[in-house]
Chain A
Amino acid sequence: MKRQVFVALSATGLAVTLAGCGITSNVSGNAASNSSGPATNSNSTLTWNNFPYTDPKLKGQTITILWTDATPTQEKLTKQLEAEFTKQTGIKVTNIGVDYNSVYNKVMTEVMSNSHSIDLAEMDTIWAGQYYAGNVAVDLTNIIPKSVQKTFTPSSLTSVTYNGHIMGVPWFSSTKHFYWNKKMFTEAGLNPNHPPATYDQFLKDSKIIQAKLGSKGVYASGWSWMQAESLTCDYVGFLGAYGGTFFSPSGQPEFNSSGGVKALQMMQTLYQSGTVDPASMQWNETQVQNAFAAGKIAMMSNWEGMYPMLNDPTQSQVVGQTAVGLLPGEGNVKSSTVTGSEGVALLKSSQHKQAALEFLEFIASNGYQLPEFQYNGQYPTLQAAYTNPKYKAADTTNTMGAIEQQFNYAFNRPNAPGYVSWSDILSGDLHKAIMGQMTPQAALNDANTQINQAIKQAE
């Protein structure tokens, strides 16, 4: 046996060496020809027609969309809206719904793959730079007419813009918000109408709730602190509250300054106080939502779209017990949150660009935005929607005012190319610090060094 394996290994070695001689130059030649990236198609023929006008020639084409599809409710609504679009335009839609943390990978493998099978893809605000620099998406700056651009809220348009290039159509407006369970506040002896305004207060209230309700298996709060983008999001919110910034104006990471360390220190303190559901360390936002809806946590930070779900008796055990308001601040900062607005991008590799553009027009219309708001609680990107009586009527939980107010205290994450790898680094270190495996200062210094290194390598 022993000798035979040696023979085997050396035989492969020989084969590899032999094969290596003849083809090397050919390989590099081949590789070089691939480096140009996806073919750059001219966009000059694309025209933005306001929905529902559609060029009849597009009838019968099929477009494919790749985006997040987290819950069964969401999946159902997406299907209905796509059916509506097909009815009006004759363009068929195939939907690929994956979890948020897979979207970016899937878009990138798709774009690199030469296979042209996806036309439209979700673009989180942080991917705009990558979509531009990596030749992923069509630059829509000159395709969306100026008059149409003005119909979007300024923040939602900023979210899809990198360096002046509009890389997608604003899909929804979003920040994180503070949700609390009023009934639990009352049971714990807290004023249900006075949610904590600072994180210090949040910690105090948490301890009170934990002491009173902990025996029932309730935790004061739950967070989406799995090692992923959702953790970076929460950190950016805390960072704002403690007056820190992610990047210096010259583009150097500086979250390891005093504000950043205090922010992470607070997250660690919260976790170690025993008031945070420990499962938070492997939760994403939807799992936090489920725990909140099951009455297992009293407070959470989460995106819009919790209503109408939280008040749907078939999915929620806290119907009518919850409220939404401003996330805490600290010191001079009244409140602080992170922007999570997203867009939908038209991929350069698409072979049905005009038909796909029609769908983007649909997204930018009330026909899409209103039902998404009504059934999914997804906030509109259209400026006029916020004064439109139809939207007011659809706001059955009367939370639009509270949600809109939070939009004024939002901080953006960077959206330069390379952000994804930086955030991967940062979320790993944040996770370790919260779990107590590193001090906040050491964790942030480490992330800072690694991100600087990554920036250098990319140059």
Chain B
Amino acid sequence: MKKLQKTSTDIIPTGYLWGGLVLLLLFSVLPFLYLISTSFSNQVEINAGHLIPHHPTLFNYRQLFSGNGPYVAHLVSAMRNSLEVSILTTILALVFGSLAAYAFARIRFPFRMSGLFAILSMQVLPSVSIVVPLYILFRNGLSIPIPFTHLAFQLTGPLLNTPWALIIAYASGTIPYVVWMVTGYFSTVPKELEESAYIDGCGMWGAMLRIIVPLSIPGLAATFIFSVLNNFDEFMFANAFTSTYRSQTIPIFISQLVGKHSLPWGLMCAAGVVATIPFVILSMVFYRWIVTGVTAGAVKG
């Protein structure tokens, strides 16, 4: 076994270190384990104060997934909507944002810095400041006003209760994020590689698509995962823009279960486990990328 090399950055004494680590582990994991354990408890045991069920039961999961029960169809459609919305949003934002990021990272042009800052600073504004106008926008459908008249060219029908309302709204927050992240990744590609592409006869599109983008794939992937997770979690826009089962997302599904306040806690926890386990597993598997996604934008250098 390889001996662990102590370094000068190890400033915590070993005893405190392990004490702290155990506390940290309990803090992070215990509530989550309780969620799982409750999902296997029936209401009688919860009322009796058993933190771990004495007789674990699959009853909650059976009720959740029972074919003619009221939940399974809603759960499945909510899951599909959530995936559809968060993935399409991310793709849209990645395409738009990467193009802009390429310009910011690889080309020096007037107003470059101001432009970049303007886009970044949009992240400061809370989403509640645009929720009302967006609601009215989606209610009427997208249109392009024709200048100097009261006429408008109608692009779409009303978008509320469709995934498009959410995709369009989410992208407005995701694009600045993508620009921020991807500009960072693109600018790490050495200039020599790009120049050799020009010498090989590539145009600007060619250099971008053949050199810069492929070399930034890990960064793009981190951005992709992080943005999907973020959009999957969004609640306020979804609450304002959807009212039908067909258009609702997972956070709304969970919120409605909780809102009833009358369903067994076990059932709600089972739904919570189903909604959340994929992400916990994904986050562990893609731990490295997630960390890059969290940190790259914020603390590079």
Q: Tell me whether B259 and A99 are in contact (CB under 8 A).
A: yes
Q: Tell me whether A8 and B70 are in contact (CB under 8 A).
A: no
Given contacts A11-B114, A99-B261, A115-B160, contact A106 B70 (CB under 8 A): no
Q: Tell me whether A71 and B262 are in contact (CB under 8 A).
A: yes
Tell me, in angstroms, the Cα distance from A189 to B263 when the chains sit together: 34
Tell me, in angstroms, the Cα distance from A11 to B111 when the chains sit together: 11
Nearest chain B residue, comparing its CB with the CB of A22: B147
Nearest chain B residue, comparing its CB with the CB of A295: B47
Q: Is A333 an interface residue (CB 8 A)?
A: no
**Minimal beta-carbon separation of B298 from chain A (angstroms):** 11
Contact with B along A67-80 (1 / 0, CB 8 A): 00111100110010
- Chain B residues, CB < 8 A from A393: none
Q: Flag the segment in A265-273, A286-294, A337-345 that touches B.
A: A286-294
Contact with A along B74-118 (1 / 0, CB 8 A): 000000000000000000000000000000000000000111011
Q: Is A101 an interface residue (CB 8 A)?
A: yes
Q: Tell me whether B124 and A110 are in contact (CB under 8 A).
A: no
Contact with A along B45-59 (1 / 0, CB 8 A): 001000000000000
Tell me, in angstroms, the Cα distance from A9 to B117 when the chains sit together: 8
- Chain B residues, CB < 8 A from A30: 140
Q: Is A402 an interface residue (CB 8 A)?
A: no
Contact with B along A102-141 (1 / 0, CB 8 A): 1000100110111101100000000000000000000000
Question: Which of A34, A113, A114 has most chain B Cβ within 10 Å?
Answer: A113
Q: Tell me whether A96 and B245 are in contact (CB under 8 A).
A: yes
Q: Tell me whether A64 and B70 are in contact (CB under 8 A).
A: no
Q: Tell me whether A75 and B243 are in contact (CB under 8 A).
A: no
Q: Is B260 an interface residue (CB 8 A)?
A: yes
Q: Tell me whether A294 and B243 are in contact (CB under 8 A).
A: no
Tell me, in angstroms, the Cα distance from A297 to B123 when the chains sit together: 51
Q: Is A243 an interface residue (CB 8 A)?
A: no
B interface majority secondary structure: helix
Q: Tell me whether A26 and B145 are in contact (CB under 8 A).
A: yes
**Minimal beta-carbon separation of B165 from chain A (angstroms):** 9
Q: B residues 253-299 with Cβ under 8 Å of A?
A: 256, 259-263
- Chain B residues, CB < 8 A from A12: 118, 121-122, 124-125
Selected from B124, B139, B256, the residue in CB contact (under 8 A) with A113 is B139
Q: Is B33 an interface residue (CB 8 A)?
A: no
- Chain B residues, CB < 8 A from A283: 261
Tell me, in angstroms, the Cα distance from A287 to B246 when the chains sit together: 28
- Chain B residues, CB < 8 A from A5: 121
Q: Is B8 an interface residue (CB 8 A)?
A: no
Contact with B along A31-44 (1 / 0, CB 8 A): 10010000000000
- Chain B residues, CB < 8 A from A384: none
Selected from B70, B120, B161, B246, the residue in CB contact (under 8 A) with A69 is B70
Q: Tell me whether A117 and B117 are in contact (CB under 8 A).
A: no
Q: Is B150 an interface residue (CB 8 A)?
A: yes
Q: Tell me whether A287 and B160 are in contact (CB under 8 A).
A: no
Q: Is A54 an interface residue (CB 8 A)?
A: no
Q: B residues 13-36 with Cβ under 8 Å of A?
A: none
- Chain A residues, CB < 8 A from B145: 26
Q: Tell me whether B121 and A70 are in contact (CB under 8 A).
A: no
Q: Tell me whether A79 and B245 are in contact (CB under 8 A).
A: no
Q: Tell me whether B259 and A294 are in contact (CB under 8 A).
A: no
Q: Is B5 an interface residue (CB 8 A)?
A: no
Q: B residues 137-173 with Cβ under 8 Å of A?
A: 139-140, 145, 150, 158, 160-162
Given contacts A11-B117, A113-B160, contact A294 B256 (CB under 8 A): no
Tell me, in angstroms, the Cα distance from A94 to B113 when the chains sit together: 53
Q: Tell me whether B160 and A114 are in contact (CB under 8 A).
A: yes
Selected from B47, B69, B244, the residue in CB contact (under 8 A) with A118 is B244
Q: Tell me whether B121 and A8 are in contact (CB under 8 A).
A: yes
**Minimal beta-carbon separation of B74 from chain A (angstroms):** 9
Given contacts A26-B145, A75-B70, A294-B47, contact A8 B262 (CB under 8 A): no
Q: Is A21 an interface residue (CB 8 A)?
A: no
Q: Tell me whether A70 and B70 are in contact (CB under 8 A).
A: no
Q: Is A7 an interface residue (CB 8 A)?
A: yes
Given contacts A8-B120, A34-B136, A286-B261, contact A94 B158 (CB under 8 A): no
Q: Is A274 an interface residue (CB 8 A)?
A: no
Q: A residues 178-226 with Cβ under 8 Å of B?
A: 226
Tell me, in angstroms, the Cα distance from A71 to B260 when the chains sit together: 8
Tell me, in angstroms, the Cα distance from A287 to B260 when the chains sit together: 9
Selected from A14, A31, A66, the residue in CB contact (under 8 A) with B243 is A66
Q: Tell me whether B70 and A9 are in contact (CB under 8 A).
A: no
Contact with B along A240-273 (1 / 0, CB 8 A): 0000000000000000000000000000000000
Query: What would 14 more interface pairs be, CB under 8 Å, given A9-B121, A70-B262, A76-B70?
Result: A7-B114, A8-B118, A8-B120, A9-B124, A11-B118, A34-B136, A66-B243, A69-B70, A72-B63, A76-B69, A99-B262, A117-B161, A286-B260, A290-B262
A-B contact pairs, 8 of them (CB 8 A): A9-B121, A11-B117, A29-B150, A71-B263, A76-B69, A98-B256, A110-B243, A113-B161
Q: Which residues of B contact A (CB under 8 A)?
A: 47, 63, 68-70, 113-115, 117-118, 120-122, 124-125, 135-136, 139-140, 145, 150, 158, 160-162, 240, 243-246, 256, 259-263
